[in-house]
Amino acid sequence: MVEFFPGDRHGEGGFYGRTLGIDGCVAFEKDLIARDDRAFERMADKAYGRIPVTDGGDDEIGEHSQLLEILNCLHSDGNRFYSVNLPNAGQAVNLPPGAVLEATTLVNTGGFHPLIFGEMPPGIAAILQRVIGIHELTIKAALRGDHSLVVRDVLAGGNVHSPRRGPDRRAS
């Protein structure tokens, strides 16, 4: 919700009464990042055959539980619907082509077949355009290694209101 509606936080920079990265959320953030890093490594190990793909019963680090179901649908023509992140190829005509959208998608041996929405309602399209623009800025910043673009990107997201950091608010 913070990504799509940053104004809904309680207080400046607040998230459930805390300020992200400053007072009490640091351990949470570090734990979350560490967990996601472990999940990524484990998925990479499975993808490259370093460890076997299992049924998810050993899911101690939060891997996506539907992965095997989706792979089975691709292999055995399961014809099931999932929420899948795919490039916009006409699912939402008033959003940029190629923008990655999470949408209901039919999965079978023919591949991934996202449902076509047509035109998104103007209010939803506006919110998604903002998020897509921020993602594009993030990509540019990463590809260029440009710190000033990273700062602009973080500010554009609405989750940070100043380029300052830390509890003493010294300029970075």
**CB pairs under 8 A, 24+ apart, for 83-90?**
84/112, 84/114, 86/112, 86/114, 89/114, 90/116
- Yes or no: say if 141 and 118 are a contact pair by the CB < 8 Å rule: no
pLDDT digit string, tens, across residues 64-81:
567 778 888 888 877 999
Distance CA 156, CA 140 (A): 14
Distance CA 63, CA 67 (A): 8
pLDDT, residue 43, reads 81
Lowest mean pLDDT among 9-13, 18-22, 75-79, 80-84: 9-13
DSSP tag of 118: B
pLDDT digit string, tens, across residues 94-135:
999 999 999 899 999 999 999 998 999 999 899 899 889 988
Highest averaged pLDDT of the listed ranges 4-8, 94-98, 150-154: 94-98
Decide: helix, strand or coil at residue 124.
Answer: helix
In this structure, what token pair is assigned to residue 23?
A: 């007072």
- Yes or no: say if 67 and 73 are a contact pair by the CB < 8 Å rule: no
Confidence of residue 92 (pLDDT cuts 50, 70, 90): very high
What's the mean per-residue pLDDT of the chain?
A: 77
pLDDT digit string, tens, across residues 40-70:
888 888 878 898 876 555 554 444 567 778 8
pTM of this prediction?
0.61
Distance CA 145, CA 126 (A): 28
Distance CA 93, CA 58 (A): 41
In this structure, what token pair is assigned to residue 3?
A: 């990504």
